[in-house]
Amino acid sequence: MTRYEALFGTVKPVIGMVHLGALPGAPLHDADRGLDGLVASARADLAALQEAGFDAVLFGNENDRPYELDVDSASTATMAFVIGQLRSEITVPFGVNVLWDPMATVALAASTGAAFCREIFTGTYASDMGFWSPDAGKAMRYRDRLGRSDLVMLYNVSAEFADSLDRRPLQDRARSAVFSSIPDAVLVSGTITGEAAELRDLEAVKVVLPHTPVMANTGVRHDTVADVLRIADGCVVGSALKFDGDTWKAVDPVRARDFMRRARSVT
């Protein structure tokens, strides 16, 4: 059994997103609602996902637009505070992602006791945030220095909001990342949040990585989840679960339950 399977308790886990509201310092932060508002919104989304039967949840700061490559420490600290307020209510494995900063993501995982993390750890990109060149070696060593060698690492190998400057095909970059950086799973994404990864990309990556879990990371919908899970070893889903399918709205309990009903018909 792989660490991935041991953590999620299934070979095809479905991970639901808890999109935190914009954090202090971010342009979209709602100062009137403050920290209490961030906690209340996250609590409602967490409850809806757990009640719907998701295998795990992932806390992320998608609302912190425009995104940063070197995240303000206040953002990471606030995410830790929110998760800490909810810690006793979390009944499934949880992960974290501080966009788009691998070191902050690892630090947040260590400080909250997260079981897994997701991030862009490898590659070189031209992006909306400028030149983007993460350092997997540095992040993995930081993880171990923090005493979290058990942290399950989900590597997103097709960055959103960016284009790879490495002109090798996606499947070659994914295979190389597994060889050189030892992720627990590889994630394939669409162009931006909420847009689907191409099924042909998922297939191409899975063919060259038969022994490494490959997940769909963005844009999985109610009408596509069955097709996605016939190829992928799990998925991360956010936008499709929200009221009206709107990324920036709260999780709709009805949509969340319907999504898991469809996912379970495959898994």
Q: Residue 105 above 90 pLDDT?
A: yes
Q: Which residues contact 34 (CB under 8 A, 6 or more apart)?
A: none
Residue 63: predicted pLDDT: 97
pLDDT at 104 over 90: yes
Tell me the pLDDT band of 217, cut-offs 50, 70 and 90: very high
> Which pTM does this prediction carry?
0.97
Q: Does the pLDDT value for residue 205 go beyond 80?
A: yes
pLDDT of residue 23: 98
Q: Which of 25-34, 113-122, 189-198 has the lowest mean pLDDT?
A: 189-198
The interaxial angle of helices 199-208 and 170-181, nearest 10 deg, is 40
Asked whether the predicted pLDDT for residue 267 surpasses 80, the reply is no
Residue 57 has pLDDT above 80, yes or no: yes
Q: Is 53 exposed, middle or buried (0-12, 13-18, 19+ CB in 10 A)?
A: middle
Reading phi first (left if > 0) and then psi (alpha if -120 to 50, else beta), residue 52 is in: alpha
Q: Using pLDDT thresholds of 50, 70 and 90, give the confidence band for residue 130.
A: very high
Alpha-carbon span 219 to 178, nearest angstrom: 24
Q: How far is residue 147's CA from residue 101's CA, in Å, rounded to a whole number?
A: 19
pLDDT at 15: 98
Taking CA atoms, 243 is separated from 11, 58, 61, 106, 219, in Å, by 29, 18, 18, 31, 15
Q: Residue 231: its pLDDT value, please?
A: 98
The confidence band for 187, taking pLDDT boundaries of 50, 70 and 90, is: very high
Q: What are phi and psi of 25, to 5 degrees?
A: 100, -25
Contact predicate 114/85, CB 8 Å: no
Residue 1 pLDDT greater than 90, yes or no: no
For residue 10, pLDDT beyond 90: yes
